[in-house]
Amino acid sequence: MLSIKNLSAAISDKEILLGITLDFEPGKTYVVLGPNGSGKSTLAATIMGRPDIAVTDASELAWNGENLKALSADKRARLGIFLSFQSPLPIPGVSVEELLRCALDGEKDLVALHKELRGFAKEIGLDEEFLSRSIHDGFSGGERKKVEAIQAAALAPSLAIFDEIDTGTDTDAVKRIAEFLSAHLPQEATKIFITHSPKLIELLRPDSVVILKEGRVVAEGGRDLAVKTIKEGFEGIK
Amino acid sequence: MEQITADVDDKTHFKIMIFGLVPFRNIKFEIRNFFGLDELYRLSTLRTL
């Protein structure tokens, strides 16, 4: 379980998260909503351990009882934590398959991984050529997000965070990505989706919805909260 | 021997760490081993601690 208590965080001395307390349980799907600048992406990056985010001493961040604050991002990844960026970065000279081969060295048979990735590409509707091209280099928005989904499926994380996996994708691609992730992320994994997309929320059928505003949790609830918020906006939520 | 220094930016460094890898920073390569920017970047990114 991911346990967050009184989490406050800043980037370049600007306070962005202000005393967030949340629990995320295994096997459940969460949606995080909030207006632009509410701290959603910072929350995701803080959980993953982005080095330039300063977390206060009073903040508590634990994954299955282990203090994440003491661990760098690579060590958090080794515990099974994964983050998909809102704007995935191109990495010239490094292919998707090459990166995953390095990441899964000793954990997965390389031939099996090669076959698995091609199966994933076919299923999500991506030409397998993208697996051997430099990551995200010249990819469209939809292609980038499909590659992010494939990376997540291959890594099989126990905590998967997707920061606007729907951004830059058309309706059909959103559906395909949502169905792909539902099929391939481990059942027991905790899944957190940051999104503004009613379509994605409808497809994900989240167990719980969290609303952030100005760095604070202002509401928690079920799917109905997401529907109401998207319909009425964030202004009425204090 | 002339050298060139390869580095990854902070965002890419963080992205690679999400895969459980730690890229070296500021690796010095000798020019005789230089096969192009992409190759240099690949070597820099995937060499891990």
pLDDT tens digits, one per residue of A10-39 = 999 999 999 999 999 999 999 999 999 999
pLDDT at res. A212: 97
CA end-to-end span of chain A, whole Å?
A: 28
Q: What percent of chain A has pLDDT over 70?
A: 100
Residues of B in contact with A113 (CB under 8 A): none
Residues of A in contact with B39 (CB under 8 A): 93
Tens-place pLDDT, residues A182-195: 999 999 999 999 99
* Pick from B12, B17, B20: CB nearest A91: B12
Q: How far is B28 from chain A (nearest CA, A)?
A: 18
Q: Residue A86 pLDDT > 50, yes or no?
A: yes
* Pick from B10, B19, B48: CB nearest A52: B10
Comparing A95-104, A134-143, B38-47, which segment has the lowest mean pLDDT?
Answer: B38-47
Q: What percent of chain A has pLDDT over 90?
A: 81
Both tokens of A8, joined, read 């406050």
pLDDT at res. A89: 85
pLDDT at res. B49: 37
pLDDT at res. A232: 86
Residues of A in contact with B19 (CB under 8 A): 74, 77, 99-100, 102-103, 151, 155
Give, in degrees to the nearest 5, the angle at Cα B8 between B44 and A101: 50
Q: Residue A214 pLDDT > 50, yes or no?
A: yes
Interval B27-43 mean pLDDT = 56
Quickly state the pLDDT bin for A77 (edges 50, 70, 90): very high
Interval A90-97 mean pLDDT = 84
Q: How far is A92 from chain B (nearest CA, A)?
A: 6
CB contact under 8 A, B19 and A52: no
CB contact under 8 A, B14 and A73: yes
Q: How far is A95 from chain B (nearest CA, A)?
A: 9
Tens-place pLDDT, residues A119-172: 999 999 999 999 999 889 899 999 999 999 999 999 999 999 999 999 989 999
CB contact under 8 A, B45 and A93: yes
Interval B21-44 mean pLDDT = 59
Residue-averaged pLDDT of chain A? 94
Quickly state the pLDDT bin for B1 (edges 50, 70, 90): low
A&B contacts, CB < 8 Å:
68
Who contacts A95 (Cβ-Cβ below 8 Å, separation ≥6)? Answer: A131, A132, A133, A134, A135
Identify whether the C-beta of residue A180 lies closer than 8 Å to the C-beta of residue A153. yes
pLDDT at res. A106: 82
CA end-to-end span of chain B, whole Å?
A: 25
pTM of the model: 0.90
Q: Report helix angle A110-124 to A96-103, nearest 10.
A: 130
CB contact under 8 A, A155 and B19: yes
Distance CA A94, CA A110 (A): 17
CB contact under 8 A, B16 and A77: no
Beta strands in chain A (DSSP E): 2-11, 14-24, 29-33, 53-55, 60-63, 66-67, 81-84, 91-95, 134-135, 159-163, 190-194, 208-213, 216-221
Question: What domains appear along chain A, each with residue ranges and CATH number?
Answer: 2-232 (3.40.50.300)
CB contact under 8 A, B15 and A91: yes
pLDDT at res. A1: 96
* Pick from A83, A92, A103: CB nearest B21: A103
Q: Which residue of A has its CA nearest to B42?
A: A93
CB contact under 8 A, A74 and B11: no
pLDDT at res. A82: 98
